[in-house]
Structure formats: structure tokens, C-alpha cells
Structure 1
Amino acid sequence: MNATVEPGPTNGAGPREQAPPGRRRTRTVRTAGGLSIRLDLRAVLAGTLLLAAALAAAVALIGSGDYPMTPSQVLATLTGGGTTGQQFIVHDLRLPRVLVGLLVGAAFGIAGAVFQTVSRNPLGSPDVLGLSQGSSVGALIVLVWFHGGTFAVAGGAVVGGLLTGLVIFLLAWQRGIHGYRFVLVGVGVAAVLYAVVLYLLTKASLYDAARATTWMTGSLSGRDWSQVWPMAAVCAVLIPVVLRCARPLRMLEMGDDAAAALGVGTERVRITALLAAVVLVSAGTAAAGPISFVALTAPQLARRLTGAPGPNLLPAALMGAALLVGADWAAQLLFGADQLPVGVLTGILGGGYLLWLLATERKAGRV
């Protein structure tokens, strides 16, 4: 398919990020079939840099550990070279861990962008709205009451996340979904589920309580190909579904009436995007545990990096992947191999970011 590139008009940013006139540069790509695609050059550049950062962090993580490897050795082994020992370490031990981190980070990032767009609130993320707590309750019920194995615990996490999402949706529904009600219901459900988590821990045996605590911390340690393939399948199916909702979600930020006037089925878009986001969060939690604050910070950092209006779904996914793998690499670099679960580091950094966000929102008079 032949395409020509023509200069396009400048594109002003939305109400959240107001750019000076003439500062944003776009290009319009016209295909031979008459289709025109307008590209924001800053957003494209930001997405490219995020992809490069995620891949660089992945190579660094593969090369770290008790048997360190240089980036050149890692790349040579990934492309079929290296010694037999290096191939075993990379392909069987470290590559699955990195792939799970990339997939889970992307799932959390894009799901967080959906929740924040639908709720119209920067605090609207699975961590705050109770999805992670719901997955934890499901996993703990299987672990504490039924003494289930790894796959059973993962299945319980998925079921718990889906049921929690359904409960929040039903409680928040009143002639549609509205931002503040959605957030308030989610916060209330999260508080109840956290109490259930504490109750289940008090009823667990010492061995099960230790397993539950380890899982709830959130870690990529010990991940293998059995976690990679299900997570890859979920992302391959649902991330394109969410990306197809990008334009309608952007229109929803103008308000339901304006979006409906432009032909957007508001409730259909919300339900589709939210359902896909809930499944992505549940699957990611099942694969790596309830790793906190990635879904909260990734969409906002991506939006600030691109400077573009709208949900920025693909940059949020790339930012989530880069954040999670980068945090896991930093934890190994600073504290040694598998000495600090990645969920602890993301919790520390994300908590600091949340305090800064609250201070910023209060200074702006929005809270």
C-alpha cells in the first residue's frame, strides 16, 4: 500500500494539557485507498522512546542476577548464540520473568488509562477502586480454604477481580456510570475487601499465611512459561479491543451529550472498555500478584510525556511495561537478586507519587 505524508495543521491539546498555539506538530498520512491518518509527532516520538526504554530495561533485567551477563551476551543468546549454560539461563529462567513483567505492566498501564478516563479522575485506578483487592480476596479464598496450587490461586484471582468489577459496576450504575459515584463506590468496595483480606489471613495456617503474604506483595520471581502464554493470550485479545475504543473514549471526555451528538454509544463504549480493563487487571494480578501503583502512575506519566489530550492508551501500556520491568531491574541492582519483590519498590515509589499528585490537585483547587 503506497502512502504519502503531508504536513497537517497544528493540534491544540485538550483541557488537561493546554499547549501554546502552533507548538504541536502533526502529519497526515494518506493511503492509496483514500484513508487519512493524522499522527501527532510528539506522541509518536514519546511512544518510540517508551518502547525503547522497555526493551532496554528488559535486556538489563535478563542480564542481572547471580550470573550476570552483558547486554551483548544477552542479545547474542536471544538470537541463537551463547553457550549452553547461557541459553538455559536466558530462555528457561530469565526470559519468562521479563515477558511476564512486560505483559503485566502493559495490561496495568492501559487498564489504568481506561479507569481514569471513564471516572474522569486521576485517582481512578484498579488499586484505588478495589479491583486488586478483589483479586486478592479470590486468590486467598482458594489458598486458605482450599489449599490450592499455583494455577488454582491464579484462577481465584481472576474470578475475584471479575466479580468485584461486576459489583462495582452494578452499585455505581444509575442511568449510566458517572465519575464521582464510580470512584466513591470503588473506594468503599476496596475498604470492605481489605477487611476480608485481613480476616482470611487470621484464619490461615502459618504456612498458608506465609504463601498469601508472599503472593500479595507482588513479585516476578519464579515466573515461567506457564504464566507467559495465558497472559500473552489475554493481552493479544483485549488490548486491541481497548485500543479500538480510544477515539470514543476521547470524545467521552467532552461529556456524554457531546459524545452522543457525535454518534458515540456512550454506555456501550464504557461497558466494553471497562470489561476489557477488568479482565486485563485480573489476569495481570493472577500472573504477578497485586503489584501496586503501576496502573495509577503509568497513564499520567504517559500523558505528561506525550502532551496529547485523550486517554493515551498505547503510551500508557508502554509506560506500564517500562515501569514494571525497570522497577524489577532496579530492585535487583540495588538489593540483590530476588531480595526485594518488585511490588515493594513500586509501592514506595507510587506512594510518593500519589502524595505529590494529591498536593498538586489540592493546589489547583480540584480536591
Structure 2
Amino acid sequence: MPPVDFGRRHFRIDTARIATRIPLRSVVISLILLAVIILGGLYSMTIGAYEVSFGEVMNALVNPAADPDIRQVVFEWRLPRVLFAVLCGAALALSGGIFQSLTRNPLGSPDIIGFGIGAQFGVTLLMLVFNLNTYAFKAVGALAGGLFTALLVYVLANKNTMSSFRLIIVGIGVSAGLGSLTSWILITVSVEKAMMAATWGAGSIASLGFDQLVPAAIVFVLVTVIALPLNRTLPVLEMGDDAATALGINPARTRLSAMIIGVALVALVTAAAGPISFIALAAPQIAQRLIRSNTPMGTIPVMLTGAALVVVSDAVAQLLEVPVGVVTVSVGGLYLAWLLARQYSRRV
């Protein structure tokens, strides 16, 4: 039997337990993105009040006998920030890919549907009203707020059949309402609390260290492992419920598990760094175009794209001396405007 021509080059993995093909383009793009993350992270570690050259950063990373002051700056202050940027970008991008695949719409990201706003509202409520400001309580608040918003949007948008357009419109309305509630909380508390919440709400990873990174990384790895089967089931679900059912996939169960996983990833980032907007919207679409895929649900390239975006954005934020969320909102707003114009031009 002649081999099947897939129209592009593939790596073939064929063992006793695994048989798969990996597109060569995906591998090349992933390696390029990994290089961008490494170079961007190294450059980011040279920026700050304490001047450290690129060579000194490299020496501090590989040489235990390097200057102890420089090693302290690099390892204890700047390396956790870079690693957090990678984690936040990967988590947000994977969440965005999940929701865009679920809705079959490039606008179906947690930023637009409102799950990110819900997580932000949950953290704000616990932080300002109940004075619970630890990372654990923030994580609980973000997860509870995100899940509550997801349930509310799902109930309001579910009318016999689930329409992606209706889901997005309802999500925008719910996020506007939750945003108003968050603003109301901010104006009813003291100025000190409001300033603290506003600083957190801008989205910043500047003050995060290994104390927050370790538990966040453990949760991220667990959630990512749980999400791996979605890489197979969600693209099938994009073909429709009938096709998915015929192939042995339960659409309702898959949607529920995907929604919980996507919200958990957003909550993980929101609890640690605050709302870092538009990465979940842009990263899956950029990755999809880079690897020329038919679906935004491509785990490794999507996560690497998100990580690269946040690492580069954080380096720019340090140069401008602003929170990373300000940079992602500025760039993401332009991307959203372009995406809306492109979607409209297709319909006209």
C-alpha cells in the first residue's frame, strides 16, 4: 500500500504504544518560539535599577562562583519574573485555545466572554471586602468567580442549542455587569485598599518570587496534563455534536470539562499576577496561523506562543516602567480591532 501524502512533511513516531505524525512546520515554529522565549527572558534579566550585562547574566546562570550580588539579582529577583511570564503566557494561551475551539470563533476567548472579569471580581471581593489577601485565597476567589461567571453565561446563552455568537454576546454583557460591580467595590473602600487593588488589577508580575511560582507551577502542570485529551476531542467537537457522538465523544461532558479546565487556567494567572488581558485572545490565533492549523487547539505551539508574547511584553513593560498588563492591553486592543474588522469584512 503506497504511503499517504499529507501535503506537508511530518515526523513519524511509531512505537508499541504510540503511533502519530507531527508536522515538521510545527516543530520548527516551536523551536523558534522557544528561542524567542529564552533570548527575551535573558534580555529581560538585564533590565532594572541594578545594571547587569547580558554576559553577566549568562555567567550568573551557569557559574556558581560568579559575583554573589549579581547571582542574587539574577536568581532571586529576575529569574522568577521571567519564569512567571512563561507560565502566565502558556496558561492564558491554552485557555484561549480551549474556549476558541469550544465556540468555534476567534472572539471566543475568556477576555471577551467574561471569565477573566469573573475571576478578577472574585479576587477583588475576597481581597477588599473580606480582607483575604494571601495567594491561596486569591486562587480560591479567582476560581470561584470564573466558574460562577462560566455557569451564568452558559445558562443565559443556552437556549435549546448553544450558539457561539449568543455565547459571546451574553459573555460581553455579563462581563460588563461584573466590571461595574468591581468598580463599585473599589469606590466604597478606603483609598489605600483601592490603590492596592488597582495596582493588582493592572496585571503585574514584578513582585512575584519562587514562593508563588512553585505552587502555581505545580497546579499548572496538573491542569495541563488533565487538558491533554482535549487536544484530540475538541477538534472533533468543532465538526459538530453529531460527528463527535458518532466518533464516541460525549459533547456535553467534553464541553463541561473543557470549560472547567479553561477557567482554572485563567484563575491560576489572575490569582498570581492579576488580569493580563488579550493574551488568551491573540496567542491561539497567532499560533494557528504560524503552524497553518485548522484549529486553535494545538497545545505546545499555542502555549509557546503565549509564553513568548508575555515574555516580550514584560521586557517592554520594564523598559517603559509600566505593568505588563498595560502593554498587553495596548497591543491586544489593536489586535482586537483588526480581528473585528476582518470578521466584519468576511460577512459583508
Q: TM-score, normalised by structure 1?
A: 0.88
Partner amino acid, structure 2, of 1:182: L
Q: Show the 5 A alignment for 1:1-367.
A: 9-11=4-6, 22=7, 24-31=8-15, 33=16, 35-81=18-64, 82-151=66-135, 152-174=137-159, 177-310=162-295, 311-333=297-319, 335=320, 339-365=321-347
**Aligned AA (1:238):** V
Cα drift, residue 175 of structure 1:
5.5
In structure 1, C-alpha distance between the alignment counterparts of 2:313 and 2:331, rounded to whole Å:
9
Q: In 2 relative to 1, CA 30–137 (structure 1 residues): closer, same or farther, beyond 3 Å?
A: same
Alignment coverage as a number of residue pairs: 344
**Taking structure 1 as reference, are residues 26 and 181 closer, same or farther at Cα in structure 2, changes over 3 Å only?**
same
Please tell me whether the aligned partners of residues 220 and 268 of structure 2 are also in contact (alpha carbons under 8 angstroms). Answer: no
Where 1:356 maps in the other structure, the secondary structure is: helix
- Measured in 2, the distance between the counterparts of 1:201 and 1:46 equals 43
**Offset of residue 176 of structure 1:** 6.3
TM-score (norm 2): 0.93
Going from structure 1 to structure 2, the CA distance change for 1:225 and 1:8 (only over 3 Å counts) comes to farther
Q: Which secondary structure state, in structure 1, belongs to the residue aligned with residue 13 of structure 2?
A: strand
Distance 1:277 1:191, change over 3 A: same
Where 1:268 maps in the other structure, the secondary structure is: helix
Distance in 1 separating the partners of 2:224 and 2:3: 28
* AA at the equivalent of 2:304: L
In the alignment, structure 2 segments of 5+ residues that lack a partner are: none
Q: Distance in 2 between matches of 1:364 and 1:137?
A: 35
Following superposition, the deviation at residue 180 of structure 1 comes to 2.5
Are the equivalent residues in 2 in contact too, given 1:102–1:325 (CA < 8 A)?
A: yes
Report what 1:4 is aligned to. none
Question: 1:29: how far off?
Answer: 2.3
Encode CA deviations 1:11-55: one digit per residue, 9 max, x unaligned. 3xxxxxxxxxx4x22232222x16421111111111121122112
- Contact in 2 for aligned 1:176/1:267 (Cα 8 Å): no
Contact in 2 for aligned 1:60/1:71 (Cα 8 Å): yes
Amino acid of the structure 1 residue aligned with 2:149: T
Kept in 2: contact 1:97–1:224 (CA 8 A): yes
Give the deviation of 1:287 after TM superposition. Answer: 0.7
Q: Is residue 12–residue 21 contact of structure 2 (8 Å, CA) maintained in 1?
A: yes
CA RMSD of aligned residues (A): 1.9
Compute the displacement of 1:166 (Å).
2.8
Q: Deviations over 1:167-186 (max 9, x none)?
A: 32333345664422322222
- Give the match's secondary structure for 1:39: strand
Tell me the distance in 2 between the aligned counterparts of 1:56 and 1:263. 44
The CA distance in 1 between the partners of 2:40 and 2:270, in whole Å, is: 21
Residues 143, 263 of structure 2: 8 Å contact kept: no
Cα offset, 1:153, TM superposition? 3.8
TM-superposed CA distance for 1:8, in Å, is 6.2
Unaligned runs of 5+ in 1: 1-6, 12-21
1:298–1:323 contact (8 Å) kept in structure 2: yes
Query: In the alignment, residue 325 of structure 1 is paired with which amino acid?
Result: V
Name the SS of the counterpart of 1:63 in structure 2.
Answer: coil
Given that 2:275 and 2:325 are in contact with CA atoms closer than 8 Å, whether structure 1 keeps it comes out as yes
Q: How far did 1:120 drift? A: 0.9
- Aligned amino acid, residue 327 of structure 2: L
- Alpha-carbon distance change, 302 to 292 in structure 1, aligned in 2, over 3 angstroms: same
Q: Separation in 1 of the partners of 2:148 and 2:17? A: 45
Q: Which amino acid aligns with 1:115?
A: F
Check whether the contact 1:63–1:74 (CA below 8 A) recurs between aligned residues.
yes
* Contact 1:114 1:313 (C-alpha < 8 Å) held by counterparts: no
Residues 305-351 of structure 1: CA distance to partner in whole angstroms, max 9, x if unpaired?
Answer: 00022222221111111101110101223x2xxx2111011100000
Structure 1 residue 356: Cα displacement? 0.7
The residue type paired with residue 167 of structure 2 is F
Amino acid at match of 1:312: G
Query: 2-side partners of 1:108 and 1:9: how far apart?
Result: 36
Structure 2: distance between partners of 1:34 and 1:278 = 32
